[in-house]
Amino acid sequence: MAFFELREYRTKPGMRDRWVTFMEEVIIPFQASKGMVITGSFTGQEEDDLYVWVRRFNSEEERAEQYKAVYEDEHWKTVIGPQIPEMMERTRMVVRRIEPSAHSMLR
């Protein structure tokens, strides 16, 4: 059964708009080009540092393959990855693995 990663990030003060642009123009297209399925991208209405996104995987094996394809890629390591710490509070990142309930529309 498919499962999802719900990834909750906190941006550094005043960096959320820049982070969202970076996610939507750089990170999401790059990850999608490597096979990742991104099902949603969200900002908090009441928290000006909150960014949440969701990725879908069909199996643990697929997740492992896609992680390797993304995070071991030289472009990620040398161009994309080094830009992240200036915008995001990595110590506050929360990643949850979730699966759709029996009547979920995402099943």
Q: Is the pLDDT of residue 107 over 80?
A: no
Percent of the chain with pLDDT over 70: 100
- Block residue for tokens 């080009």: 33
Q: Express the helix, strand and coil content of the chain in percent, nearest 5 each.
A: 45, 30, 30
pLDDT at residue 46, as a whole number: 96
* Type of residue found at 93: M
Residue 86 has pLDDT above 80, yes or no: yes
* pLDDT score recorded for residue 106: 81
List of domains in the chain: 3-98 (3.30.70.100)
User: 25-84, pLDDT tens digit by residue?
Assistant: 999 999 999 999 999 999 999 999 999 999 999 999 999 999 999 999 999 999 999 999
Q: What is the pLDDT of residue 1?
A: 79
Q: What pLDDT, on the 0 to 100 scale, is given for residue 52?
A: 98
pLDDT over 90 (residue 105): no
Mention every residue, 6+ apart, whose C-beta is less than 8 A from residue 93: 7, 8, 9, 10
Average pLDDT, the chain: 96
